[in-house]
């Protein structure tokens, strides 16, 4: 069952929350040795939460909108129990003293937290292979990546272990793995969901969002999490929207823009075909399809990998083995600086070290103007390109949303890009601009590449800032017209 079906079955007492939790835990036990989606499982805690929900229902008390729904959390979202490791050696034994606002709001709504999921270390990667726990495997093809960095959460939903999960999206880390796993992945507008308790990678880009089987499920989970949070100064000072309200009402006089840059010759044939098929679906639904131009999109990868790594260099400076994290053994005659250096060298993986060094260089004296400040100027231009498309520019009508791929290719084989990190970075070409502009973006199942193996292909919608409800309605129109989401992986 999906999120809404599970919630309704528990509310109507057709099935107990304890039965739902036990089934999810059984699925973890049977599937996880093969998939490696979960890095921690909260057996007793999940059952305790479920018993409390059943007791409230038996007493005739009201329960929350997610009562009895098993949810998994990416392991960079803090919980006041278990560990919050970020899939890194430096935090392998870290226990958070508090719970992230997003997770607490789910718990308050009755969700059952089943466990923590695997990720690229500190959310730095597009494959969920850069992890001290090893790679997560794609449920559609075990020798292929699941996408990243929120790959464990995507895998947990796609394989049917849980109906919903949380990830974080800094440059595509929800939308890209959702596309690789044939599920819905939603990155809300920056500021709609609190970042408090999310271990920071790049603070001006990070956003928490859901994975789900349907657009309606993603809307419900986001609605529960959304709203101003006094603990997060970047959260939008606005009431939490009810994203389910009017979700099934089609957008009238719909205008969909297709960026010229999205029809790149570098796209895999299956990606190009999925985009054209999606255009056809919206045309048949009565939408006007227009070409739009995002002239600075080609600079998105460069700008993103300067801004994100610069912020990562600053954010990860706290993990020095003294105040936070794993500390190396102090050697005779060694000074404090040597201890810092060895603790960080031993604690951080290769990809994290690479990004810290890149970001530190971009911020260093004599280079900050040439690299970091230039990237910030490009960021502004990229945001302006999106805004012109949404406002209408040069005589073109205003777009309600833009349609593009979520990745230029389907999932690749595990290890295929290990020797060439830049080739993995380029897989984010259609997602990073959305984060740079702070916009909502959603990936939905768009079809399959010819096999074997028959790998999923996602298509992505991007909307104006804080128009998340409208974007979800547009995605719902596509979902109702296609059957891609119903194709589940074989056991």
Domain 3-253+402-486 maps to which CATH number in 3.40.50.150, 3.90.1300.10, 3.30.1330.40, 2.40.128.50? 3.90.1300.10
Q: Please give the average per-residue pLDDT across 142-151, as a whole number.
A: 98
In the chain, where the domains are located: 3-253+402-486, 299-372
Marked catalytic residue, from 16, 31, 74, 116: 74
Which residues does 479 contact at the CB level (< 8 Å), separation at least 6? 184, 214, 215, 444, 485
Element of type H or E holding 457: strand 456-462
Marked catalytic residue, from 126, 127, 159, 173: 173
- Confidence class of residue 334 from pLDDT cuts 50, 70 and 90? confident
Does the active-site annotation cover 343? Answer: no
For strand 255-259 and strand 288-292, is the pairing parallel, antiparallel, or unpaired?
parallel
Marked catalytic residue, from 149, 194, 406, 409: 149
Sheet containing 401-405: give its strands across. Answer: 38-41, 112-117, 70-74, 164-168, 208-212, 184-187, 441-448, 456-462, 401-405, 255-259, 288-292
pLDDT in tens, 390-429: 999 888 899 999 999 999 999 999 999 999 999 999 999 9
Does the active-site annotation cover 173? Answer: yes
pLDDT in tens, 436-456: 999 999 999 999 999 889 999
pLDDT in tens, 32-61: 999 999 999 999 999 999 999 999 999 999
CB 443 within 8 A of CB 460: yes
Which residues does 449 contact at the CB level (< 8 Å), separation at least 6? 268, 269, 270, 410, 455, 456, 457
Of residues 95, 104, 88, the one with CA closest to residue 166: 104
Residue 491 pLDDT: 54
Does the active-site annotation cover 298? Answer: no
pLDDT in tens, 178-194: 999 999 999 999 999 99
The CB density around residue 472, as the number of other CB atoms within 10 Å, is 28
Of residues 237, 167, 247, 238, the one with CA closest to residue 214: 247
Give the C-alpha distances (Å, rounded to integers) separating 318 from 78, 125, 179, 310, 325. 16, 21, 34, 14, 9
Question: Residue 28: pLDDT above 60?
Answer: yes
Compute the distance between CA of residue 436 and CA of residue 363 in angstroms, rounded to an integer: 18
Considering the entire predicted model, what is its pTM? 0.96
Residue 398 pLDDT: 96
pLDDT in tens, 98-137: 999 999 999 999 999 999 999 999 999 999 999 999 999 9
Residue 487 pLDDT: 76
Higher-confidence residue of 185 and 487: namely 185
The DSSP symbol for 198 reads B
Question: Residue 324: pLDDT above 90?
Answer: no
């Amino acid at each position: 069952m999906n999120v809404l079906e599970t919630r309704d079955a528990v509310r109507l007492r057709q099935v107990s929350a304890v039965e739902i939790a036990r089934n999810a835990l059984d699925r973890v036990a049977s599937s996880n040795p093969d998939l490696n989606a979960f890095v921690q499982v909260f057996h007793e805690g999940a059952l305790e939460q479920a018993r409390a929900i059943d007791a409230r229902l038996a007493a005739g008390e009201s329960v929350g909108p997610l009562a009895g729904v098993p949810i998994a959390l990416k392991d960079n979202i803090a919980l006041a129990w278990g560990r919050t490791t970020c899939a890194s050696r430096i935090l392998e034994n870290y226990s958070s003293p508090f719970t992230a606002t997003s997770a607490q709001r789910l718990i308050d709504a009755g969700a059952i937290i089943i466990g923590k999921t695997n990720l690229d270390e500190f959310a730095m990667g597009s494959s969920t292979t850069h992890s001290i726990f090893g790679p997560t495997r794609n449920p559609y093809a075990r020798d292929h990546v699941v996408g990243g960095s929120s790959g464990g959460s995507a895998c947990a939903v796609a394989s049917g272990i849980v109906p919903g999960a949380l990830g974080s999206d800094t440059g595509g880390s929800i939308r890209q793995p959702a596309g690789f796993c044939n599920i819905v992945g939603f990155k809300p507008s920056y500021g709609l969901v609190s970042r408090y308790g999310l271990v920071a990678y790049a603070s001006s880009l990070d956003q928490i969002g859901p994975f789900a089987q349907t657009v309606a499920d993603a809307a419900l989970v986001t609605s529960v999490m959304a709203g101003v949070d006094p603990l997060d100064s970047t959260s939008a000072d606005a009431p939490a929207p009810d994203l389910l309200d009017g979700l099934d009402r089609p957008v009238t006089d719909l205008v969909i823009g297709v960026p010229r840059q999205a029809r790149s010759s570098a796209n895999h044939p299956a990606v190009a075909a999925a985009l054209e098929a999606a255009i056809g679906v919206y045309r048949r639904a009565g939408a006007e399809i227009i070409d739009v131009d995002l002239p600075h999109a080609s600079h998105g990868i460069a700008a993103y990998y300067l801004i994100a790594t610069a912020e990562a260099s600053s954010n990860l400076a706290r993990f020095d083995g003294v105040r936070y994290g794993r500390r190396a053994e102090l050697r005779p005659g060694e000074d404090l600086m040597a201890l810092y250096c060895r603790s960080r060298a031993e604690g951080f993986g290769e990809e994290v070290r690479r990004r810290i060094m890149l970001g530190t260089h971009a911020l260093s004296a004599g280079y900050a103007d040439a690299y970091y400040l230039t990237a910030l100027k490009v960021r502004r231009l990229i945001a302006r390109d999106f805004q012109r498309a949404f406002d209408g520019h040069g005589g073109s009508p205003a777009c309600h949303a833009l349609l593009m791929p979520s990745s230029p290719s389907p999932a690749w084989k595990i290890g295929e890009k290990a020797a060439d990190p830049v080739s993995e970075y380029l897989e984010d070409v259609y997602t990073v601009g959305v984060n740079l502009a702070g916009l909502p973006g959603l990936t939905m199942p768009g079809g399959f590449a010819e096999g074997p193996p028959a790998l999923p292909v996602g298509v992505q919608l991007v909307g104006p800032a804080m128009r998340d409800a409208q974007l979800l309605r547009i995605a719902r129109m596509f979902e109702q017209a296609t059957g891609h989401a119903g194709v589940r992986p074989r056991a």
